């Protein structure tokens, strides 16, 4: 019997991460270099402590307008309250969360440890090669 598709089968296992002490301009550089729109913020033990997104980084430009120089740490700009998913969550549940929220990605966390990240594009890659009318059947497999 086939099992329902799970997050663990489709998430990106090695996301680009930063620490909260990383300089914000370094973090922006990493986002641009790797062509990503957000990245998890972790502590030294690999536990998720926040997420930094393009939206958060726009605050860097706003601050620079006031203080005449962009700067500070990732912790000054990151979002601390992060919605996450688990590796055994169904892909269908994650799809519903993408549709019902503005988030483009969810960190994949188990026992406080960051395992990876699943984004809208990962979900679409999971659908590749499957006929659209069969997607729902595939997502509901048991």
Residue 22 lies in a domain: yes
Residue 99 lies in a domain: yes
pLDDT given at position 7: 92
Q: Would you write out the chain's pLDDT as a tens digit for each of its 142 residues?
A: 356 788 998 898 889 999 999 999 899 999 999 999 999 999 999 899 999 999 888 877 776 655 556 678 999 999 999 999 999 998 888 988 999 888 889 999 999 899 999 998 888 888 776 655 555 565 555 4
pLDDT at 14: 87
pLDDT of residue 70: 64
Domain assignment present for residue 140? The answer is no
Q: Which domain holds residue 27?
A: 7-129
Residue 95, H or E segment: helix 91-99
Is 57 part of any domain?
Answer: yes
134 within domain boundaries: no
CATH label of the domain that carries residue 116: 3.10.580.10
Helices and strands, counts by H and E, the chain: 5, 5
Distance from chain centroid for Cα 86: 12
pLDDT of residue 13: 87
Question: Quick check: is 136 in a domain?
Answer: no
- Evaluate whether residue 124 is within a structural domain: yes
**φ and ψ at residue 18, rounded to 5 degrees:** -135, 165
How many domains in the chain? Answer: 1
- Beta strands 38-42; 48-53: pairing state: antiparallel
Structure confidence at residue 131 (pLDDT): 58
91: in domain: yes
Residue spans of beta strands (DSSP E) within 56-138? 105-110, 113-119
């Amino acid at each position: 019997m086939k099992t329902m598709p799970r997050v663990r089968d489709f998430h990106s296992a090695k996301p680009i991460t930063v620490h909260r002490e990383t300089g914000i301009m370094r973090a922006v550089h990493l986002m641009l270099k790797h062509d990503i729109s957000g990245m998890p913020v972790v502590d030294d033990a690999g536990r998720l402590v926040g997420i930094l997104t393009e939206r958060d980084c726009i605050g860097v430009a706003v601050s620079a307008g006031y203080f005449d120089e962009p700067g500070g740490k990732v912790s000054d700009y990151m979002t601390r309250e992060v919605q996450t998913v688990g590796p055994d969550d169904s892909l269908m549940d994650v799809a519903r969360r993408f549709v019902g929220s503005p988030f483009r990605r969810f960190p994949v966390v188990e026992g406080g440890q960051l395992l990876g990240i699943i984004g809208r594009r990962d979900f679409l890659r999971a659908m590749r090669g499957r006929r659209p009318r069969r997607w729902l059947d595939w997502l509901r497999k048991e």
